[in-house]
Amino acid sequence: MFKTLLLTAAAGLALAMAAPGIGCAAPSDPAERKMVETVQADHARNLKLLESLVLVNSGSMNFKGVEQVGQMVRAELEPLGFQVRWSPMAAANRAGHLVAIHKGSGRGVHMLLIGHLDTVFELDSPFQGWTLKGNDIVEGPGTSDMKGGDVIMIAALRAMQAAGTLKDADITVVMTGDEEKRGAPLAVDRKDLIDAGHANDVALEFEGLARQNGQDIGSIARRSSGAWTVRAHAKSGHSSGVCTPQAGCGAIYELARILDDFRRELPEPHLTYNVGLISGGSQATINPTETGATASGKSNVISAEAIAMGDIRTLSPEQEARVRAKMAAIVAKHLPKTQAEISFADTGYPAMAPTEASRKLLAKLNQVNTSLGLPQMPEGDPDKRGAGDIALVSFLPGLLGLGMGGEGAHAPGETADLKTMDVQAERAALLMARLAKEPRPRP
């Protein structure tokens, strides 16, 4: 109890010392001024919501925790006029997703808002809890990736309601429960998101804000995230004959040749390919969860089996197809007395290439920045963003990075920068209110 009182007092002190909305001017439009005022007035409320969400463990495989966070978000959206449902995903071996729909006038741009309820930190992770570090930094699992973004989304919608701009807005919210460890098959696990994409005109993703040298960056693209496995086989025998015409070099040498050829022959812009796990010997296997391997053999025996696993990240489906073909061609150039094959797993995320339509959406965000007295946000480098859900609806113009700024996502010590919370909520509220007033594009 005493510890709880101390944390509460510390939170109150941080709130008193924080300066919400730093750098924001008052917009000339009365409704937009009201949205800014509401965000700033709700700073303590929004911070308390963030703390409550972070204190619930919602690792992707902690289904109970994911559902609990979903219920907490439901309690925020239903009073704003959203029809909220929980979409269970037992068929994909995941907890499920939250889907919320706000019906407006039908005349404006229809918006899909994307978030996620889960984190990479499962129940057995030692990184749990909520710690204020100074006036503006909070440490905890999911603070920036992406419970901070979920709170910013809610704060922006609440500000729109207060200003009367939510009433006519057509908005669908999809918060997935397994963004960090996606279930399969894709057609089942992401049906809600993809269907929502086809029913809307733009996608806004509230993942963490990108920043570079203190400057906020606009994000309109993500690279893909896919997996590959190479398996090599060879004739075994006594090591005294290794690499002779009769015995061959063995599976490990064949695998080493392939991986080194990847390193030398594949490089091109926006492409990365990583070798994350390797095993070889007389026998080699990868465990069922693909998180480890076992091997057996001896130093004086030519290896019979070798396996390597890794990922590949590209900026477009065309690049993905081209690189896969090059990898397959490299694998096919076998050393004598060896065989090898490569397989690709489509359990990751596709690429979201930059488009002119998304650039126009970023330009509208920069018009909001002008109204708020904030600097312009240049288009960011997609190589510096991870894969994410918005790529599954990349047929829409999209913006990402509307969430909380922070550091260390996916690692113990993850933090969120509380100075970005109000600014991001103000940006999102004004952008959505303006989009809601634009005529809906024709099909």
**pLDDT, tens digit, 9 for 90 and up, residues 267-293:** 999 999 999 999 999 999 999 878 889
What percent of the chain has a predicted confidence (pLDDT) above 90?
A: 85
Asked whether the predicted pLDDT for residue 95 surpasses 90, the reply is: yes
Question: Contact at 8 Å (CB) between 94 and 63?
Answer: yes
- Return the CATH architecture of domain 2-222+352-437: 3-Layer(aba) Sandwich (3.40)
Stated as kind and residue range, the H or E segment containing 144 is none
Return the C-alpha torsion angle 359, 165, 198, 91, nearest 10. 120
Query: In angstroms, rounded to a whole number, what is the distance separating the alpha carbons of residues 39 and 425?
Result: 7
Say how many C-beta atoms besides its own lie within 10 A of residue 3's C-beta: 7
Q: How confident is the model over 25-79, as pLDDT tens digits?
A: 788 899 999 999 999 999 999 999 999 999 999 999 999 999 999 999 999 999 9
**Highest-confidence segment of 222-231, 314-323, 361-370:** 361-370
What phi and psi values does residue 404 have, to the nearest 5 degrees? -80, 140
Query: In angstroms, rounded to a whole number, what is the distance separating the alpha carbons of residues 334 and 329?
Result: 10
Asked whether the predicted pLDDT for residue 192 surpasses 80, the reply is: yes
Question: Contact at 8 Å (CB) between 167 and 49?
Answer: no
Asked whether the predicted pLDDT for residue 6 surpasses 60, the reply is: no
Which pLDDT belongs to residue 347? 67
Asked whether the predicted pLDDT for residue 5 surpasses 60, the reply is: no
Query: In angstroms, rounded to a whole number, what is the distance separating the alpha carbons of residues 175 and 85?
Result: 11
Which pLDDT belongs to residue 16? 39
* Domains of the chain, residue spans: 2-222+352-437, 225-349
Which pLDDT belongs to residue 24? 61
Average pLDDT, whole number, for the chain?
92
Asked whether the predicted pLDDT for residue 2 surpasses 80, the reply is: no
Q: Which residues contact 289 (CB under 8 A, 6 or more apart)?
A: none
Query: In angstroms, rounded to a whole number, what is the distance separating the alpha carbons of residues 417 and 414?
Result: 10
Query: In angstroms, rounded to a whole number, what is the distance separating the alpha carbons of residues 115 and 142?
Result: 12
Tell me which fold the domain 225-349 belongs to. Alpha-Beta Plaits (3.30.70)
Which whole number is the average pLDDT over 75-103? Answer: 97
